Structure 1
């Protein structure tokens, strides 16, 4: 159902683009270049403009309504998380903030001891 709805939305988007491109703009539009001139003379310029304007509004409203319907189909009350990032964020615990290592300074401060893992490796095999 969801894929069919998305397919209809994409089809309406393509039709909307074609209708918008065929409208008369200040520069004349594409309607006169692709045979729209004969239709304008047959039906009259005013009626063709009204039809294209009504189609534009109809396609735009249809896309908005179908988009909202697809959102209602997908969201089922928030029971299922669909984003991979949201799933990973919910599974992994938040890291604990590390305590900052502040070296002690002063006359009685001692140097920190090196751990064996942090000690430089020496090559003993000769």
Structure 2
């Protein structure tokens, strides 16, 4: 079958929701640079969680956590500002496991919080009463 005779598949991007055409049946992302970046980042977070002993590993998009937390750091309460650089989101925020993975924390949206990189670094692997309260707080607005 010549290339021009191949069927064209219409897909919806699993990252951004855009509709695109492809010649391959197993393509799930539109191929835009931000979509590839977020897919790689989400997959890396899942691999990290599995490697560090998380009992439950869910696919959680970092932007879901940011949106749920209203782009606010759950450690200091200051806004998290996303700066676009070369069509990619700048690495100025971090997704924190409230109960660390090495303390039997799960990689689920309920155990993740949006933080500044510096705030997450200051916390380290400690589980304090504050972190326990964060997991008990309802995320429903």
Q: TM-score, normalised by structure 1?
A: 0.22
Of Structure 1 and Structure 2, which has the larger fraction of its residues in strand?
2
Q: Specify the structure having the higher radius of gyration (Cα).
A: 1
Of Structure 1 and Structure 2, which has the larger fraction of its residues in helix?
1
Structure number with greater CO (CA < 8 Å, separation at least 6) is 1
